[in-house]
């Protein structure tokens, strides 16, 4: 981060039900979701709120199970896709020591009962404690207890006890333990912060405790070596933060960011005795570099003037969490403006940019036409926009007659961010699953591992295989990791229980048969067809010119996709117009070149934020289509019956003539190979003019279960016209963990 100050950005536009402003709440992050629970202003909030940082959408997931009561100043820790809640204030004077677990993949709450420690009493009810995850244990320190037997009164007692809670592998806990520590340790306190960090030079993680309240605000920093359980006060350089409480502390990389909280008022001429007697909220930001143990102050120590837009205004009791290299803060108590009888709380959401975006993943092809390449890319954390660039590789060449390829080819992935719940069939719009992301609004997440019932719509992922021409040899794409993709999918609703999500993806293919009338010569139902992976390297049409070394801007996009029909030519001075979106009002962007049929283009994308532009993604190559071949079938629906599955689809949107027939293929197990790197084998299971077919249990029993991502049965379907077969659609029919085909001999990781 530069020396000009912190790069704060206020989230100006968002959708969905925004939670009421509050303080004393907590937040954690799971992938691109921020989960907020508890806190309050006039009363304790009970709802669980979630904010999607990619779509900028707030939503209230439909939680179920042992739903905890609302609480404030509680412990909140996240491990994988589960969130743990401990303690907190239920109402004035009434504190809790209950432990709850939220499975965010199903929005399922569960009350846990941990085994008490063998060497002491279990933790008492408390508020303002720290609850920090390190490895498979949560470390509880300090807090504030109420020693009054009368629930209407409050006799506070600062706590300095220290516990560790061992977690079970995926759900539940084992028990509490009171570890034996050396080196004294921090004094009793509440409203402090504790973070975990493990430096590259040391394999031993450390717990850092800073600040808090114990009759007065504290500014000390303590370090606990988890391996030796030894407390120490590390020597630091630079100006340390003011003593404070109700602040936030978060780790990004090798730095700890301290923001906000209650701090002492500085002495002035008119307030000579202010220090230690008056306290105000602050918007100051201090950073500790763990490698050099040096403090750096990045924000003003005192509240900024009203209406300042350089950063969030002063606050305490806010929540803060990190996603990638961004630090998000939301709401909190405004201790600077006390305009009414009740406490004023902030309503804004901010994020701090700390680094340039990381390297983007390769661009993916959604759809190819004669004059358009619809491409998409994965979202990057801490990215405001995406710079897409293109480079022509080969000039347009006519496709020889009879060169239509088989619709079979190298296995494709699926575009991230598009999914439906495998159990209910509802779109995974507001939740997380263990395997795939979410993209649309509405719908609840059903429990994982339960297969769909008979007659219900099944979850499928589709990918178009561009096989009406010779392969374009772009780099293989691993698209098993999922995020969000907005605006590039079509959703076909079959009934109230199911949705089918369609993801066309381009793939490399083998050279096809010369027989124009057949996708695979002499292939009959049950015939095995083996695919082949194309060789890596540049593909040029015969007689093609050398590749143009110039990269041209397609545009700077806020979205995760682009239907590329043209690109900007260099400006008059001979330089490419880098980083600008083509705009008719910009003279340098007026010159454009349209995409041509049968041309191979290279693509790369880079993320851009306030800190600068990230590195470009690895190069991929996509080719525009030749005219005359049909498009890929779409809108596939799979309905499970008792002893078979019924598959329907829609004809291609661009048939380019009369459709003569369709062919569907099923990936099957290789009988003589145990290798996980060999290509897939396919058998044709349907050939006909109808847009529907039944797949029997006999065929399904021989299906290959692709476990490169979530277990799935792979099918392919293509349409044929007078010119031959067009692009095939690959279907990944996602299977639950209870699928009878998921045996060791039926599965493979590709």
Q: Is the pLDDT of residue 377 over 90?
A: yes
In 3D, which of 14, 112, 110 has the Cα closest to residue 54? 14
- Whether this prediction's pTM lies above 0.85 is answered by no
Mean pLDDT of 576-600: 63
Output Rg (C-alpha) for the chain, integer angstroms.
29
Q: Is the pLDDT of residue 555 over 80?
A: yes
Mean pLDDT of 721-731: 84
pLDDT for the residue 318: 98
Residue 453's contacts (CB-CB under 8 Å, 6 or more residues apart) are: 640
pLDDT for the residue 65: 98
645 by DSSP, 3-state: which?
strand
pLDDT for the residue 346: 93
Q: How would you class 193 by CB atoms within 10 Å of its CB: exposed for 0-12, middle for 13-18, buried for 19 or more?
A: buried
Say if CB 131 and CB 85 are below 8 A apart.
Answer: no
In 3D, which of 728, 725, 727 has the Cα closest to residue 403? 725
Strand partners, 719: 662
- Is 667 part of a structural domain of the chain? no
Q: Is the pLDDT of residue 425 over 60?
A: no
Q: What is the spatial distance between Cα 326 and Cα 324, in angstroms, rounded to a whole number?
A: 6
Task: Classify strands 108-112 and 64-65 as parallel, antiparallel or unpaired.
Answer: parallel
- Is 720 part of a structural domain of the chain? no
| Boundaries of domain holding 307 | 7-353
Mean pLDDT of 737-750: 47
Q: What percent of the chain has pLDDT over 90?
A: 52
700 DSSP 8-state letter: H
- Is 123 part of a structural domain of the chain? yes
Greater pLDDT, 440 or 227: 227
Mean pLDDT of 634-660: 88
Element (H, E) at 467: none
pLDDT for the residue 489: 31
- Is 313 part of a structural domain of the chain? yes
pLDDT for the residue 626: 78
- Is 18 part of a structural domain of the chain? yes
**Considering only 126-135, 209-218, 463-472, which range has the smallest mean pLDDT?**
463-472
Q: How does pLDDT run across 60-119, given as a tens digit for each residue?
A: 999 999 999 999 999 999 999 999 999 999 999 899 999 999 999 999 999 999 999 999
Q: List the beta strands (DSSP E) in 517-673.
A: 528-530, 552-557, 561-564, 566-568, 592-594, 600-609, 612-613, 620-623, 634-640, 644-650, 661-668
Greater pLDDT, 509 or 199: 199
Q: What is the spatial distance between Cα 82 and Cα 520, in angstroms, rounded to a whole number?
A: 48
Residue 249's contacts (CB-CB under 8 Å, 6 or more residues apart) are: 193, 194, 195, 208, 210, 256, 257, 258, 320
Q: How does pLDDT run across 396-422, given as a tens digit for each residue?
A: 444 444 444 445 433 333 333 333 333
Q: Is the pLDDT of residue 437 over 70?
A: no
pLDDT for the residue 543: 35
Going by pLDDT thresholds of 50, 70 and 90, the confidence category of residue 487 is: very low
Residue 588 φ/ψ, nearest 5 degrees? -70, -15
Going by pLDDT thresholds of 50, 70 and 90, the confidence category of residue 432 is: very low
Greater pLDDT, 454 or 730: 730
Q: How does pLDDT run across 689-710, given as a tens digit for each residue?
A: 999 999 999 888 889 888 766 7
**Considering only 389-398, 479-488, 578-587, which range has the smallest mean pLDDT?**
479-488
- Is 577 part of a structural domain of the chain? no
Strand partners, 622: 601
> Mean pLDDT of all residues in the chain?
77
Residue 154 maps to which CATH number?
Answer: 2.120.10.80
pLDDT for the residue 549: 84
Greater pLDDT, 256 or 270: 256
pLDDT for the residue 678: 54
- Is 183 part of a structural domain of the chain? yes
Say if CB 361 and CB 378 are below 8 A apart.
Answer: yes
712: left (phi over 0), alpha (psi -120 to 50) or beta: beta
Q: What is the spatial distance between Cα 307 and Cα 192, in angstroms, rounded to a whole number?
A: 29
Mean pLDDT of 432-439: 30
Q: Is the pLDDT of residue 390 over 70?
A: yes
pLDDT for the residue 140: 99
- Is 165 part of a structural domain of the chain? yes
Going by pLDDT thresholds of 50, 70 and 90, the confidence category of residue 634 is: confident
Q: Is the pLDDT of residue 606 over 80?
A: yes
pLDDT for the residue 628: 85
Strand partners, 82: 79, 103
pLDDT for the residue 269: 57
Mean pLDDT of 236-256: 97
| Total domains in the fold of the chain | 1
Going by pLDDT thresholds of 50, 70 and 90, the confidence category of residue 167 is: very high
Going by pLDDT thresholds of 50, 70 and 90, the confidence category of residue 458 is: low
């Amino acid at each position: 981060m530069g020396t000009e100050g912190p790069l704060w950005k206020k989230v100006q536009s968002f959708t969905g039900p925004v939670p009421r402003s509050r303080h004393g709440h907590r937040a954690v992050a799971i992938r691109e979701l921020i989960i907020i629970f508890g806190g309050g202003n006039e009363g304790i909030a009970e709802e669980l709120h979630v904010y999607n940082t990619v779509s900028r959408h707030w939503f209230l997931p439909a939680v179920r199970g042992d739903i905890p009561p609302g609480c404030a100043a509680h412990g909140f820790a996240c491990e994988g896709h589960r969130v743990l809640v401990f303690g907190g204030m239920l109402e004035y004077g009434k504190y809790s020591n209950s432990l709850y677990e939220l499975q965010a993949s199903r929005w399922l709450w569960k009350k846990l009962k941990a085994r008490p420690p063998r060497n002491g009493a279990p933790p008492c009810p408390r508020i303002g404690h720290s609850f920090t995850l390190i490895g498979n244990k949560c470390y509880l320190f300090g807090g504030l207890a109420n020693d009054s037997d009368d629930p209407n009164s409050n006799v506070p007692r600062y706590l300095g006890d220290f516990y560790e809670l061992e977690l079970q592998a995926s759900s539940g806990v084992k028990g509490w333990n009171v570890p034996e520590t050396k080196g004294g340790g921090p004094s009793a306190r509440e409203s402090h912060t504790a973070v975990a960090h493990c430096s590259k030079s040391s394999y031993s993680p450390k717990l850092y405790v800073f600040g808090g309240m114990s009759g007065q605000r504290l500014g000390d920093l303590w370090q606990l070596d988890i391996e030796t359980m030894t407390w120490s006060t590390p020597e630091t350089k630079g100006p340390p933060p003011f003593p404070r409480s109700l602040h936030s502390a978060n780790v990004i990389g090798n730095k700890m960011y301290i923001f906000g909280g209650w701090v002492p008022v500085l002495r002035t001429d008119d307030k000579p005795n202010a220090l230690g007697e008056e306290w105000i909220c602050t918007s100051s930001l201090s950073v500790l570099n763990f490698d050099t143990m040096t403090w750096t102050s990045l924000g003003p120590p005192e509240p900024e003037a009203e209406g300042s837009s350089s950063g969030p205004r002063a606050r305490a009791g806010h929540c803060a969490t990190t996603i990638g290299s961004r630090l998000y803060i939301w709401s909190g108590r405004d201790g600077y403006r006390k305009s009414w009888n009740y406490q004023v709380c902030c309503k804004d959401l901010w994020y701090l940019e700390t680094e340039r975006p990381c390297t983007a993943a390769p661009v993916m092809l959604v759809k190819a036409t004669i004059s358009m390449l619809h491409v998409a890319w994965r979202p990057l954390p801490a990215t405001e926009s995406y710079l897409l660039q293109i480079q022509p590789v080969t000039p347009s060449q006519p496709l020889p007659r009879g060169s239509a390829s088989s619709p079979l080819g190298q296995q494709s992935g699926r575009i991230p961010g598009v999914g439906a719940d495998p159990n209910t069939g509802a779109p995974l719009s507001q939740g997380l699953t263990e395997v795939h992301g979410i993209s649309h609004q509405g719908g609840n997440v059903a429990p994982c591992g339960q297969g769909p019932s008979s007659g219900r719509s099944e979850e499928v992922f589709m990918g178009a295989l561009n096989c009406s021409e010779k392969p374009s040899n772009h780099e293989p794409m691993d698209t098993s990791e999922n995020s969000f993709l907005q605006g590039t999918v079509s959703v076909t609703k079959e009934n109230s229980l199911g949705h089918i999500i369609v993801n066309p993806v381009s793939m490399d293919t083998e050279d096809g048969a010369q027989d124009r009338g057949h996708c695979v010569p002499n292939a009959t139902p049950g015939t095995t067809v083996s695919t082949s992976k194309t060789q890596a390297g540049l593909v040029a049409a015969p007689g093609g010119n050398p590749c143009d070394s110039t990269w041209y801007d397609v545009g700077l996009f806020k979205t995760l996709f682009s239907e590329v029909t043209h690109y900007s030519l260099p400006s008059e001075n001979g330089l490419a117009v880098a980083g600008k979106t083509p705009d008719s009002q910009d003279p340098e962007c007026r010159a454009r070149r349209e995409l041509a049929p049968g041309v191979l283009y290279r693509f790369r994308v880079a993320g851009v934020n306030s800190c600068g532009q990230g590195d470009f993604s690895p190069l991929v190559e996509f080719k525009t289509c030749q005219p005359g071949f049909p498009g890929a079938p779409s809108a596939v629906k799979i309905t499970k019956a008792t002893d078979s599955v019924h598959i329907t689809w829609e004809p291609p949107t661009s048939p380019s003539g009369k459709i003569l027939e369709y062919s569907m293929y099923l990936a099957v197990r290789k009988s003589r190979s145990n290798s996980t790197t060999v290509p897939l084998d396919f058998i044709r299971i349907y050939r006909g003019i109808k847009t529907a077919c039944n797949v029997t249990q006999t065929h399904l029993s021989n299906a290959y279960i692709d476990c490169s991502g979530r277990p799935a049965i792979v099918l392919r379907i293509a349409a044929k016209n007078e010119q031959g077969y067009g692009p095939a659609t690959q279907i990944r029919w996602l299977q639950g963990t209870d699928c009878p085909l998921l045996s060791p001999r039926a599965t493979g990781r590709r």
